[in-house]
C-alpha cells in the first residue's frame, strides 16, 4: 500500500526590511509626482495640437488649412524673424554669463561668515522675485529714460542726457543690465554649494602655498561645477523665453526698430496681433528645438568640465 504524502507547505517569505523601505519611498515619490501627472493631462492635448497647427494656416476664426512645411519655409525668408533671433541670441549670450559671474562673486562674498547673512541673502534675492514683473520694467524704463535718474547722475559729471531705452543702440543693453541685476536666484544656489565645501581643503591648499586664485581655480570651481552647470541650464532656458521685458519696454512693438524684439515677442505678434496662429505654432516648435539643441550641447560638453563625487 502506497502512502499518500501531504502537499508541501509553501511559506510566504517576507520582503527584506530594506526592500520594504524602498517601496515606501517609491510610493511617497509617486504621491508627490501625482500633481504633475494630473497637470500633464491638461498639456498633452495642447502640445500635440500645436504640432498639428504648425503645419497649417490658422487664423483662430476659420478651420485650419493644411500647408505642410509652408510655415517653416516662410521662416527661412522672414527678415523680422531673423532679427528677433539675433536679439534673443545676443541677449542670452551676454546676460547669462554676466549674471552667473555676478551671482558667484556675491555668493563668495557672503560666504565669509558675515553678520546678518539671512538679511543680506533676502535683500540680494529680492530682485529675482521682481525683475520680470511689469512694474519693475516700467520703473527701469523711467530710470533709464531721458529724464531718469541715470541721466541725472551722469549730468553731474557733465555727460549729456541720453535716451537709453529709446535708442536702438542701447535699449537692449538696459534689459541685459536688468537681467544681471536679478542674480539672486543663482546666487542663493551658489551660496548653498559653497557652504558645503569642507574647509580642510582650503587649509591644506594654503599650507602647500596655494594662493587665493589657485584655491578658487583648483578647489572651488571643480567642487561647485555641478551647481554652475545647473544654473547655466536654467538661465539659458529662461533667457531664450524672455518676453515681458521687451513687451513692456517697447509697448509691444519690439522697438526702437527691432532692438528689443525678442523671439517670443515676435511669436506673440504673429499669433495674437496678426492672427497667424499656425505660423506662431511653427515658431514655438523652432524655439523648442533651439532650446533642446543648446541643452544637449551643454550636457555633451559637461563631461569635460563638470566633476561629480563619483
Confidence of residue 310 (pLDDT cuts 50, 70, 90): low
Of residues 11 and 300, which shows the higher confidence score? 300
> Residue 301 burial (CB < 10 Å; 0-12/13-18/19+)?
exposed
DSSP class per residue in 144-211: TSTTSHHHHHHHHTTPPP--TTTSTTTHHHHHHHHHHH--HHHHHHHHHHHTTS-HHHHHHHHHTT--
The answer to whether 167 and 187 have CB atoms below 8 angstroms apart is no
Q: pLDDT confidence of 157, banded at 50, 70, 90?
A: confident
| The pLDDT of residue 228 | 96
Q: Which of 242, 259, 245 is nearest to 136 (CA)?
A: 245
**Residue with the larger pLDDT of the pair 151 and 14:** 151
Q: pLDDT (tens digit, 9 = 90+) per residue, 18-63?
A: 677 788 888 888 888 888 888 887 888 888 999 999 999 999 889 9
Mean pLDDT of 105-113: 86
pLDDT of the residue at 6:
57
pLDDT (0 to 100) of residue 3: 53
How far apart CA 102 and CA 183 sit, in angstroms, is 7
pTM: 0.85
The answer on pLDDT for 276 being more than 80 is: yes
State how far the Cα of 148 lies from the Cα of 151, in Å rounded to an integer.
6
Per residue in 192-217, pLDDT (tens digit) is 999 999 989 888 998 888 888 999 99
Count CA atoms closer than 13 A to 45's CA, side-chain side.
4
**Mean pLDDT, rounded, for 285-304:** 96
Give pLDDT, residue 5.
53
pLDDT digits (tens, 9 = 90+) for 116-154: 777 877 777 777 777 667 888 888 888 998 888 898 888
Residue whose C-alpha is closest to residue 270's, from 90, 43, 45, 54: 54
* Residues in a beta bridge with 56: 66
Q: What percent of the residues of the chain are helix, what percent strand, and what percent coil, each to the nearest 5?
A: 70, 0, 30
Rounded to an integer, the average pLDDT of 247-271 is 93
Indicate the average pLDDT of the chain: 88
Instruction: Provide CB contacts within 8 A for 85, sequence distance 6+.
Output: 263
- What is the pLDDT at residue 131? 66
Q: Which residue would you say has higher pLDDT here, 226 or 135? A: 226
Which domains are seen in the chain, by residue range? 65-305 (1.10.3720.10)
Amino acid at each position: 500500500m502506497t502512502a499518500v504524502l501531504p502537499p508541501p507547505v509553501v511559506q510566504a517569505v517576507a520582503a527584506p526590511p530594506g526592500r520594504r523601505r524602498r517601496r515606501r519611498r517609491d510610493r511617497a515619490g509617486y504621491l508627490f509626482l501625482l500633481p504633475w501627472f494630473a497637470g500633464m493631462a491638461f498639456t498633452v492635448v495642447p502640445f500635440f495640437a500645436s504640432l498639428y497647427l504648425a503645419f497649417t494656416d490658422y487664423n483662430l476664426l476659420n478651420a485650419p488649412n493644411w500647408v505642410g512645411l509652408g510655415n517653416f519655409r516662410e521662416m527661412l525668408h522672414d527678415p523680422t524673424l531673423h532679427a528677433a533671433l539675433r536679439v534673443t541670441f545676443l541677449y542670452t549670450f551676454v546676460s547669462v554669463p554676466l549674471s552667473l559671474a555676478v551671482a558667484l562673486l556675491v555668493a563668495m562674498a557672503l560666504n565669509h561668515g558675515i553678520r546678518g547673512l539671512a538679511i543680506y541673502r533676502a535683500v540680494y534675492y529680492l530682485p529675482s522675485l521682481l525683475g520680470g514683473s511689469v512694474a519693475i520694467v516700467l520703473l527701469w524704463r523711467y530710470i533709464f529714460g531721458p529724464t531718469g535718474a541715470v541721466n541725472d547722475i551722469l549730468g553731474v559729471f557733465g555727460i549729456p542726457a541720453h535716451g537709453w531705452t529709446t535708442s536702438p543702440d542701447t535699449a537692449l543693453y538696459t534689459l541685459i543690465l536688468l537681467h544681471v541685476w536679478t542674480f539672486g536666484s543663482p546666487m542663493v544656489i551658489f551660496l548653498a554649494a559653497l557652504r558645503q565645501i569642507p574647509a580642510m581643503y582650503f587649509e591644506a591648499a594654503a599650507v602647500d602655498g596655494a594662493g587665493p586664485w589657485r584655491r578658487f581655480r583648483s578647489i572651488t570651481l571643480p567642487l561647485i561645477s555641478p551647481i554652475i552647470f545647473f544654473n547655466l541650464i536654467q538661465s539659458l532656458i529662461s533667457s531664450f523665453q524672455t518676453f515681458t521685458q521687451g513687451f513692456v519696454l517697447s509697448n509691444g512693438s519690439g522697438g526702437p526698430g527691432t532692438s528689443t524684439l525678442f523671439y517670443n515677442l515676435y511669436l506673440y505678434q504673429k499669433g495674437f496681433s496678426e492672427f497667424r496662429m499656425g505660423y506662431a505654432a511653427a515658431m514655438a516648435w523652432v524655439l523648442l528645438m533651439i532650446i533642446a539643441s543648446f541643452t544637449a550641447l551643454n550636457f555633451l560638453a559637461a563631461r569635460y568640465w563638470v566633476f561629480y563625487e563619483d
